[in-house]
Amino acid sequence: MAWTRVRDEALRERALQVIPGGMYGHMSTARLPADYPQFFHRARGCRIWDVDDNEYVDFMCAFGPNLLGYQDPAVQAAIAAQQALGDTMNGPSEVMVELAERFVAQVSHAQWAMFCKNGTDATTMAMVIARAHTRRRVILVAHDAYHGADPWCVPLSRTAGTVPEDRAHVAYYAYNDPQSLEDLMRRHKGDVAAVFATPYRHDVFSDQQALNADYAHAARRLCDETGAVLIVDDIRAGFRLARDCSWSLLGIAPDLSCWGKCFANGQPISAVLGSEPLREAARTIFVTGSFWFSAVPMAAGVETLRQIAQTDYLERLEAAGRSLREGLAERARAHGFALRQTGPAQMPQILFDDDPDFRVGYAWTAECLKNGAFFHPYHNMFLSAAHGPQDIALALDAADRAFETVRRVRGTLGPVPQLAPVIEYLARK
Amino acid sequence: MAWTRVRDEALRERALQVIPGGMYGHMSTARLPADYPQFFHRARGCRIWDVDDNEYVDFMCAFGPNLLGYQDPAVQAAIAAQQALGDTMNGPSEVMVELAERFVAQVSHAQWAMFCKNGTDATTMAMVIARAHTRRRVILVAHDAYHGADPWCVPLSRTAGTVPEDRAHVAYYAYNDPQSLEDLMRRHKGDVAAVFATPYRHDVFSDQQALNADYAHAARRLCDETGAVLIVDDIRAGFRLARDCSWSLLGIAPDLSCWGKCFANGQPISAVLGSEPLREAARTIFVTGSFWFSAVPMAAGVETLRQIAQTDYLERLEAAGRSLREGLAERARAHGFALRQTGPAQMPQILFDDDPDFRVGYAWTAECLKNGAFFHPYHNMFLSAAHGPQDIALALDAADRAFETVRRVRGTLGPVPQLAPVIEYLARK
């Protein structure tokens, strides 16, 4: 069936009337190639269908939440069973205790769990717990690391409507640079409440960077020396690098970790996990939300954590990522392109050499899209356990046709207008 | 069947191991009478069952979300149909546009909508939009009004882990007092971004107060005169006072309104609605969340808004509230108690005269509980459209038996230990 976007266009027109700018947040297509669909109709396994019924092998996984496959049968069964009993009630269901117990059993640093809805809820809660525990103020975060969209952490390029006091005690260090972190620690000596760290560097519009072990060990040591709280923000990468907290791969236990996106396979729930010394501070803060205690996402979480513990989901999504990476590298070379495929294969970032304003990458992902593979031109992508060899083969065929087309038209490509503010921001840095 | 709490006790023990303090937030039973169950098993209509299978006629409605009845068949059908297609995908489903269109059609001041998850997301987003629109800083809120649990708005009695800068530009006026609001406006002249107002006064541990029309009109006039943004926080009361924004009952259109809890009948979604002049500012802010674009809660919202527009749900829940109120007043009088039943009948607050430390109210609600009626001793309650005459009759029977018991034991009641910090806080005010 020919690729079309008739319904999507009509919906965009309607959305423009009733949603500011037509859409907002990370799922707005405003900065994507013009052909990307804004609206989706259904999803199953590793496939998605947009509202024009175009089918794609999906490498975004809803920006992470799809870990086991959309509509994973066992997770859907857990959802249906809980829904038939109750979801948002006057208090939690017993499934909340089971979910917390599973986290404590499966994540080695965790002695307790608190659940919320957004990733931002989890990072904000971790910040508040760290301040309550230390009775200090300063929060150290890496430049450009994404920790959510509350005024204290909204990306510095997108601060409309915030005030300087929102981040009065937030200070910035260079990710992966132990000296930068140590210098910043010293500058705020005696007042550092917490150090935030992502599992590895996964900033948008950039090559991903593996975690520097020296930096990670320095972060743990500096927190131990000063009493600051080490917080690993595993919201984006959690359970795609390990069945435990991502820094467990280096043998490092954070004091708090933040989780979200995928641990209920797409159901809305996030979490803060903590070690024993943080428990008392966590008990004293006030946090809540209308739907934080709803049972259905927790039931989905229990089943997802069960599969995380008991199945080879991780090996499957790693294998799918590796075969995608190898196949793309080979096809790119054959067409004369030099790809930079960075980050873990299960969370790939794909950028092109000699493409400073992303015009080649934009053209390529747009062509892949029309050929049935949904890649992202500037955000890291995600594999799921439902990506099988046939799906990867289809995606590689789409990629191959896209390389072929872009090779022909490369000389005619102009700058991407919707990226102008981004290019300007990146140049200023 | 005798009322028991064996399973609840066992779950509390387990929860204490893996959740700080055993539970947190507004669904913690830490300050409720000791007999209240912490964990619930199922819910249907206006009935809930705790984990020991004790059945209650429920007057909390999950603190609001249950508007049409737990497991409302049409809402459940909408949920199931959407779930079979997809929920959290790479972008919203077309149902998002439909939901925004319905809001714009049904809420008179609204020209656009943005959706999020928590009530706190909506109030924080409204604050950020107001600051972006006015390029000013100061946010005026009423003393003790609850607008969420982000550091900028967490109740002043529960600020562990926050820093003074979190509310550097938040100033407090006396609810329902036009002079207090005008004075505060003048004090921050030229820098007021927004005035927050709840639809009426529904603070915990207090009699509820009807909206003073002079205050509401003054708020609108002062915002018009100064260019500040008037924000009605309808998260708790929305769609229980009117089918429109609650202040529409006075003919007042806010610039922004915040919605949550019940507009998807318990599914996790909240919203900011705005008038045309705020649209551009709303377009420029950056807000997002992993699950903000999920389709299932939106499908539930479309069906709930349909019922709000097309059924007598509001008249039914008002009638149920009135018959509960009248029946309670009569039974209280018969047993020699003077009740203060305040607020709209569909969101009742029930306190006892001559009960400054709440010991009588605590004893009474605990006895009601054991007799099958779930009331709350210090938080406003909620009626749903599923409360029928038979349910109210059952609840009144339970209340009657509870009055009888409390009349006998009243002289022996001691202070409520878990309320000591609250009594102290109220005394300091």
What average pLDDT values come out for chain B (429 residues) when binned by 10 residues?
A: 87 98 97 96 98 98 98 98 98 98 98 98 98 98 96 94 97 98 98 98 94 98 98 98 98 98 98 98 98 98 98 98 98 97 98 96 98 97 98 98 97 95 86
Task: Flag whether B1 is in a domain.
Answer: no
pLDDT attached to residue A157:
87
Q: Do B330 and B417 fall within a single domain?
A: yes
Question: What are the phi and psi torsion angles at B78 (to 5°)?
Answer: -65, -40
Task: Flag whether A77 is in a domain.
Answer: no
* CATH for A335: 3.90.1150.10
Stretch A329-333: mean pLDDT, rounded? 98
- Searching chain B, which residue's CA lies closest to the CA of residue A86? B42
CA distance B310 to chain A (A): 21
Q: Do A274 and A174 fall within a single domain?
A: yes
* CATH for A193: 3.40.640.10
pLDDT attached to residue B1:
54
**Contacts (Cβ under 8 Å, ≥6 apart) of B215:** B175, B176, B177, B178, B181
Cβ pairs A/B, distance under 8 A: 353
CA distance B282 to chain A (A): 6
pLDDT digits (tens, 9 = 90+) for B212-228: 999 999 999 999 999 99
Cβ separation A118–B119 shorter than 8 A: no
Task: Flag whether B300 is in a domain.
Answer: no
Cβ separation B158–A86 shorter than 8 A: no
**Local confidence band at A373 (pLDDT 50, 70, 90 cut-offs):** very high
Question: Please, what is the average pLDDT of chain A?
Answer: 97
Task: Flag whether B78 is in a domain.
Answer: no
- Which residues of A are less than 8 Å from B158 in CB distance? 285-286
Cβ separation A39–B287 shorter than 8 A: no
Q: Do B289 and B318 fall within a single domain?
A: no
pTM of the model: 0.98
Domain residues for A14? 6-70+313-428
Task: Flag whether B301 is in a domain.
Answer: no
Please give the ipTM for the structure prediction.
0.98
By Cβ distance, the residue of A158, A160, A165 closest to B168 is A165
Cβ separation A289–B94 shorter than 8 A: no
The closest alpha carbon to A96, from A294, A370, A310, belongs to A294
Cβ separation A162–B131 shorter than 8 A: yes
Q: Which of B42, B67, B95, B97 to mutate to probe the A interface, most A CBs <10 Å?
A: B97
pLDDT attached to residue B369:
98
pLDDT digits (tens, 9 = 90+) for B74-128: 999 999 999 999 999 999 999 999 999 999 999 999 999 999 999 999 999 999 9
Tell me if chain B has a CB within 8 Å of the CB of A323. no
Q: Do A135 and A185 fall within a single domain?
A: yes
Q: Do A396 and A250 fall within a single domain?
A: no
Cβ separation A18–B114 shorter than 8 A: no
**Local confidence band at A414 (pLDDT 50, 70, 90 cut-offs):** very high
**Local confidence band at A426 (pLDDT 50, 70, 90 cut-offs):** confident
Answer with the one of A243, A262, A293 that is the final residue of a domain: A293
Cβ separation B165–A165 shorter than 8 A: yes
Task: Flag whether B370 is in a domain.
Answer: yes
Cβ separation A129–B66 shorter than 8 A: no
Q: Do B131 and B240 fall within a single domain?
A: yes
Answer with the one of B293, B326, B359 that is the final residue of a domain: B293
Q: Do A277 and A335 fall within a single domain?
A: no
CA distance B160 to chain A (A): 5
- Which residues of A are less than 8 Å from B261 in CB distance? 290
Residues 274-303 of B with CB under 8 A from A: 274, 279-294, 297
**Contacts (Cβ under 8 Å, ≥6 apart) of B266:** A87, A88, A291, A294, B62, B65, B66, B70, B300
pLDDT attached to residue A425:
85
Answer with the one of B263, B293, B323 that is the final residue of a domain: B293
Cβ separation A88–B100 shorter than 8 A: no
Cβ separation B101–A14 shorter than 8 A: yes
Question: What are the phi and psi torsion angles at B200 (to 5°)?
Answer: -155, 180
pLDDT attached to residue A206:
93
Stretch A196-208: mean pLDDT, rounded? 95
pLDDT digits (tens, 9 = 90+) for A89-146: 999 999 999 999 999 999 999 999 999 999 999 999 999 999 999 999 999 999 999 9
By Cβ distance, the residue of A129, A159, A283 closest to B21 is A283
Stretch A302-310: mean pLDDT, rounded? 98
Stretch A195-214: mean pLDDT, rounded? 96
Q: Which of A36, A97, A131 to mutate to probe the B interface, most B CBs <10 Å?
A: A97
Residues 155-174 of B with CB under 8 A from A: 155, 158-163, 165-166, 168-169
What string of H, E and C letters represents the secondary structure of chain A?
CCCCCHHHHHHHHHHHHHCHHHCCHHHCCCCCCCCCCCCEEEEEECEEEECCCCEEEECCHHHCCCCCCECCHHHHHHHHHHHHHCCCCCCCCCHHHHHHHHHHHHCCCCCEEEEECCHHHHHHHHHHHHHHHHCCCEEEEECCCCCCCCCCCCCCCCCCCCCHHHHCCEEEECCCCHHHHHHHHHHCCCCEEEEEECCCECCCCCCCECCCHHHHHHHHHHHHHHCCEEEEECCCCCCCCCCCCHHHHHCCCCCEEEECCCCCCCCCCEEEEECHHHHHHHHHCCCCCCCCCCHHHHHHHHHHHHHHHHCCHHHHHHHHHHHHHHHHHHHHHHCCCCEEEECCCCCCEEEECCCCCCHHHHHHHHHHHHCCEECCCCCCCCCCCCCCHHHHHHHHHHHHHHHHHHHHHHHHCCCCHHHHHHHHHHHHC
Q: Do A92 and A66 fall within a single domain?
A: no
Q: Do B146 and B207 fall within a single domain?
A: yes
- Searching chain B, which residue's CA lies closest to the CA of residue A278? B20
Question: Please, what is the average pLDDT of chain B?
Answer: 97
Cβ separation B281–A161 shorter than 8 A: yes
CA distance A166 to chain B (A): 6
Q: Do B150 and B260 fall within a single domain?
A: yes
Task: Flag whether B381 is in a domain.
Answer: yes
pLDDT attached to residue A399:
98
Task: Flag whether A50 is in a domain.
Answer: yes
Cβ separation A25–B261 shorter than 8 A: no
What string of H, E and C letters represents the secondary structure of chain B?
CCCCCHHHHHHHHHHHHHCHHHCCHHHCCCCCCCCCCCCEEEEEECEEEECCCCEEEECCHHHCCCCCCECCHHHHHHHHHHHHHCCCCCCCCCHHHHHHHHHHHHCCCCCEEEEECCHHHHHHHHHHHHHHHHCCCEEEEECCCCCCCCCCCCCCCCCCCCCHHHHCCEEEECCCCHHHHHHHHHHCCCCEEEEEECCCECCCCCCCECCCHHHHHHHHHHHHHHCCEEEEECCCCCCCCCCCCHHHHHCCCCCEEEECCCCCCCCCCEEEEECHHHHHHHHHCCCCCCCCCCHHHHHHHHHHHHHHHHCCHHHHHHHHHHHHHHHHHHHHHHCCCCEEEECCCCCCEEEECCCCCCHHHHHHHHHHHHCCEECCCCCCCCCCCCCCHHHHHHHHHHHHHHHHHHHHHHHHCCCCHHHHHHHHHHHHC
Q: Do B108 and B218 fall within a single domain?
A: yes
pLDDT attached to residue A1:
53
The count of domains in chain A is 2
- Which residues of A are less than 8 Å from B21 in CB distance? 282-283
Q: Do B146 and B20 fall within a single domain?
A: no
